[in-house]
Amino acid sequence: MSGNNIMIKSTGAYLPVKILTNKDLEKIVDTSDEWITTRTGIKTRRVAADHEATSDMAYEAAKIALKRANMDPQEVELIIVATITPDMFFPSTGCFVQDRLGAKNAVAMDVNAACSGYIYSLVIACKFLGTGSYKNAVIIGAEKLTSITNWEDRNTCVLFGDGAGASVLIPSNGESKLLAFDLGTDGSYGEELFMPGGGSRNPASIETVENKLHSIRMNGNTIFKVAVNKMKKTFTNSMGNAGITTEDISILIPHQANLRIIESLRKSLHLPKEKVHVNIDKYGNTSAASIAIGLNEVYEEGLIKRGDIIGFVAFGGGLTWGSAIIQY
């Protein structure tokens, strides 16, 4: 069996009940529905309840994916949670998910690659399964970004939402496979999109709280420019590695950061609108959960079938970027 013969057996997703509209945001910060829609493409986003942590949403998404895969939690061998909003620094969010699922035989860990986290987790899991180290994996992208949002910063508070998506991975006989991937990092851009407070450099204190260091900070103009270039380059690299062209792609599921970024990428790749999945208008930017939620959506809407070639591409804080092409 080829090391890349891996199947996404099933998917699941969880979106919190509460919906925050642009009109709601008009009452919180100096902004408008027109301003937000024109610049981002976002109309609504989901907000987790106060009692809901990232692991709670990850658990709900994973539970659905496991049920669809007809898999008992005790059969699970590897759990990877991609998140930048863990329940706490340690234990990992993966540990909480493992315990709540009852997946007593699974190794669990977190991956912090920001918005690229699902793709990083997909590649890591595929390589573990490809070597025979584990027989299956559950990869989850989950975020409670509203918990680290500065609601006084109109440039960032309009962007982010909460949610989780999960995928069950198993070996295949070649009918499904990871065709190619491409990952990248440039740490010199680290402080263009980051949360400065809470770690060992700026431990929690009265001053860090007062200065709102425990919330997302972003240089939007720089991020936009770099994102468009890196996403195009990484996906082009993956297509080259897979030996395919855009005509072979059944659907592209990009990270949902900004509709203008998605549209710029789509046009540069010469993809028709119907081949690019967009849900940013409903959910905003859910970081590592974004692609996982999108994949579950296209499954539930019957937009993909076995054998289809599906592309993933993302860009996030770090800066990180990545792409993957699978035969579903």
Catalytic residue ranges: 115, 255, 285
CA–CA gap between residue 12 and residue 26 (Å, rounded):
32
Instruction: Count CB-CB contacts under 10 A for residue 71.
Output: 18
Q: State the DSSP H helix or E strand holding residue 60, giving kind and residue range, or none if neither.
A: helix 54-68
SS3 309: strand
CA–CA gap between residue 309 and residue 325 (Å, rounded):
7
Which tokens sit at 145?
């970004």
SS3 110: strand
Q: State the DSSP H helix or E strand holding residue 44, giving kind and residue range, or none if neither.
A: strand 44-47
**Amino acid at site 309:** I
Cα 256-263-244 angle, rounded to 5 deg: 90
Contacts of 147 (CB under 8 A, 6+ apart): 48, 85
Task: Name the residue among 245, 251, 240, 237 with its Cα closest to residue 182.
Answer: 237
CA–CA gap between residue 166 and residue 168 (Å, rounded):
7
Task: Name the residue among 180, 142, 174, 176 with its Cα closest to residue 161.
Answer: 142
Q: State the DSSP H helix or E strand holding residue 56, giving kind and residue range, or none if neither.
A: helix 54-68
CA–CA gap between residue 28 and residue 222 (Å, rounded):
26
Which tokens sit at 94?
């993966």
Helices (H) and strands (E) in the chain, counts: 10, 13
